[in-house]
Structure 1
Amino acid sequence: MKILVIGPSWVGDMMMSQSLYRTLKAAHPEAQIDVMAPAWCRPLLDRMPEVRQALPMPLGHGALELGERRRLGISLRGEQYQRAFVLPNSFKSALVPFFARIPQRTGWRGEMRYGLLNDLRVLDKAAFPLMVQRYAALGYDAPQIRTAADLPQPILWPKLQVSEAEVAAVKISFAVSDNRPLVGFCPGAEFGPAKRWPHYHYAALAEKLIGEGQQVVLFGSAKDHQAGEQIRQSLTEGAQPFCLNLAGKTSLDQAVVMIAACQAVVSNDSGLMHVAAALDKPLVALYGPSSPDFTPPLSHRAKVIRLITGYHKVRKGDAEEGYHQSLIDIQPEQVYQELSQLLNSGKEQ
């Protein structure tokens, strides 16, 4: 069976979508699964063994471009896909499988996609509170799965593959010493400072870890580099050489491999947090106005710290530098204690 998936456009969503691919592959070992997504997603898809190939989606996130989507769909007809799964909820995301004439086109109703999808599921959000449950449920016939409780357990969580040879090579590329264990920090957040743990808290935690003989590596995109520099510059002069700011200096694939090299990760609610979870790293995930109730880190070795409840649509906090008070209130000592417990638990296993 040949399957086309129209994938998500965000790192975290793409990571969670792997649960669908794993579910499909478990039920149909012979299935060939291709995922169409923005080109930047390829490093993640290439590390998912269930995916045969990543197909680049050449159209922008917000562009309808009906004619181009029709052309793209027609170009896929020769692949003879039997099934398609459309993971985004937009009307336009369902057009390519429709124009490709794929016989069975599955997805949640989203933006009233009657006709475009012929295996249309109507979502009861209360019945499927987690995004990963919604993705996994699409891998089963609709009558089988009425609620998340009907899903076979355990749900197959995301799991990326990275080899030891790749880890060794990327550490050489960035001149990362093997003399000290690595702890990764992911201090960026896509929607601004309100979702970021303050740089001075990260610096206090880094200072303590470095004092105990570890080294800290900072991950993120180019726009997170300044946040990384704030952390590094807040360290004492003696600690700074043991804090490496790689935000904006790695490709996504290099960041994935470097995170695999870490013994543990501390992260804001971000896409890289989901990458760390899929690599099964001991992980402390820090939440403020965004909520883990819908997209928590999918790992038994993850600890979520959050001091408030509910979802708060906040783009910039009221505190100094745009931080949110609920994240300011998470103290470095609390994060250190949770991190230590995770690391000690790993040693006991």
Structure 2
Amino acid sequence: MKILVIGASWVGDAMMSQSLYRLLMQRHPNAKIDVMAPAWCHSLLKLMPEVNLPLVMPIGHGVLSLRERYQLGRALKKNRYLQSIVLPNSFKSALVPFFSSISQRTGWRGEMRYGVLNDIRTLDKQAFPLMIQRYAALAFDRDRIHHAADLPSPLPWPHLTVSASDIDQVLQTFMPNCILPLIGFCPGTASGLAKRWPHYHYATLAEALIRRGHQIVLFGSVQEQASGEAIKASLPPDCRRHCRNLVGKTSLEQAVKLIAACRGIVSNDAGLMHVASALQRPLVALYGPTSPDFTPPLYHQSRSIRLISGGCKIRKYEENTGYHPALIAIQPTQVLNALQSLLL
């Protein structure tokens, strides 16, 4: 059985989708699952043994490109997929399987996708409160799963495995002379300051860990470089040599391998948090306006810290107006105590 999945466009969503692939392989052990996703995502997909072949989605996020989607769909027709599963909720994301004439095209209704999907599901958000549950439900027949309680328990969580040789190689590249235990920080987010723990709190935590004998490593994308620079600059001069700022200086694949080398991770609610969770690294996840009620870290040795309850919507224009009060209120001592409890 050949299945085409139209994958997610964000790191965290890409990681959580692995639970779907694991369930599909449990149901169909001989299935071949191809995942079409942006090229940057392939370094993650290649670490998922359930994925047969990562396919490049050449059309940018948010772009319709109707003719290109038609041509892409017709080109994929030769692969003879029996089913497609569309994870994004947009209308355009369902067009490639439609143009491929795949007989069963599965997904949530999303943007009124009647016709382009013929195995369409209507989402009751209260019935499936977690994103991982919404992905997992698509592995089963529509009439079988009506509520999260109908899903197998426990759900197979995302899980990445990196070889010791790969870890050693990337350590030689970026941390060749370090003998101290590594603690990784993921201080950025794709959506601006409002969802980031303040850089000065990260610096205070880094100083405390350095004085306890740890090496700090900062991870993130090129767009998040200012976060890493601000943290290192806020450290006392004698601590800076024990803080390696790799924000924007590694590929995603290299960052994954370096995170696997860390004894523990502290992260905002961001994609690398889900990577650390899937690598089964002890993890403290920091939430403000976003909530662990929807996308928590999926690892038993993790702690989520959030000091407010309920929803807290951040408008687009507010994302870079400053740190959110709910994140400012999380004190470094709280995070340090939570991390130390995981490292015992």
Q: How would you bin the TM-score normalised by the shorter chain?
A: over 0.9
Matches within 5 A, 1:84-123: 84-123=84-123
CA distance in structure 2 between the aligned counterparts of 1:156 and 1:315, rounded to whole angstroms: 34
CA distance in structure 2 between the aligned counterparts of 1:93 and 1:62, rounded to whole angstroms: 9
Matched letter for residue 191 of structure 2? F
Question: Kindly tell me: are residues 97 and 317 of structure 1, through their superposed partners in 2, closer, same or farther at Cα, counting changes over 3 Å?
Answer: closer
Structure 2 unaligned spans of 5+: none
Contact 1:220-1:248 within 8 A present in 2 as well: yes
Bigger shift: residues 58-67 or 77-86: 58-67
User: Residue 316 of structure 1: CA displacement?
Assistant: 8.2
Matches within 5 A, 1:225-244: 225-244=225-244
User: Residue 178 of structure 1: CA displacement?
Assistant: 4.0
Matched letter for residue 233 of structure 2? Q
CA distance in structure 2 between the aligned counterparts of 1:176 and 1:313, rounded to whole angstroms: 43
Matched letter for residue 250 of structure 1? T
Matches within 5 A, 1:94-173: 94-173=94-173
SS of match in other structure, 1:239 = helix
Contact 2:200-2:234 within 8 A present in 1 as well: yes
- Residue equivalent to 2:190: 190
CA distance in structure 1 between the aligned counterparts of 2:87 and 2:179, rounded to whole angstroms: 44
- Residue equivalent to 2:179: 179
Question: Kindly tell me: are residues 321 and 235 of structure 1, through their superposed partners in 2, closer, same or farther at Cα, counting changes over 3 Å?
Answer: farther
CA distance in structure 1 between the aligned counterparts of 2:263 and 2:39, rounded to whole angstroms: 29
Contact 2:194-2:321 within 8 A present in 1 as well: no
SS of match in other structure, 2:24 = helix
Equivalent pairs: percent with the same residue?
62
CA distance in structure 1 between the aligned counterparts of 2:179 and 2:38, rounded to whole angstroms: 38
CA distance in structure 2 between the aligned counterparts of 1:24 and 1:33, rounded to whole angstroms: 8
Question: Kindly tell me: are residues 76 and 321 of structure 1, through their superposed partners in 2, closer, same or farther at Cα, counting changes over 3 Å?
Answer: closer
Return the TM-score normalized by structure 2: 0.97
CA distance in structure 2 between the aligned counterparts of 1:176 and 1:317, rounded to whole angstroms: 42
CA distance in structure 1 between the aligned counterparts of 2:163 and 2:7, rounded to whole angstroms: 25
Bigger shift: residues 173-182 or 214-223: 173-182
User: Residue 317 of structure 1: CA displacement?
Assistant: 10
Alignment size in residue pairs: 344
CA distance in structure 1 between the aligned counterparts of 2:257 and 2:332, rounded to whole angstroms: 26
- Residue equivalent to 1:306: 306
Question: Kindly tell me: are residues 310 and 252 of structure 1, through their superposed partners in 2, closer, same or farther at Cα, counting changes over 3 Å?
Answer: same
Matched letter for residue 49 of structure 1? P
CA-atom RMSD in angstroms: 1.5
Q: Structure 1: which 4+ aligned runs deviate by more than 3 Å?
A: 315-318
User: Residue 176 of structure 1: CA displacement?
Assistant: 4.2
Return the TM-score normalized by structure 1: 0.96
- Residue equivalent to 2:81: 81
Matched letter for residue 258 of structure 2? M
User: Residue 83 of structure 1: CA displacement?
Assistant: 0.8
Contact 1:218-1:244 within 8 A present in 2 as well: yes
Matched letter for residue 215 of structure 1? Q
Question: Kindly tell me: are residues 66 and 161 of structure 1, through their superposed partners in 2, closer, same or farther at Cα, counting changes over 3 Å?
Answer: same
- Residue equivalent to 1:65: 65
Matched letter for residue 328 of structure 1? I
User: Residue 301 of structure 1: CA displacement?
Assistant: 1.1
CA distance in structure 1 between the aligned counterparts of 2:286 and 2:176, rounded to whole angstroms: 26
Contact 2:19-2:158 within 8 A present in 1 as well: yes
Matched letter for residue 290 of structure 1? T
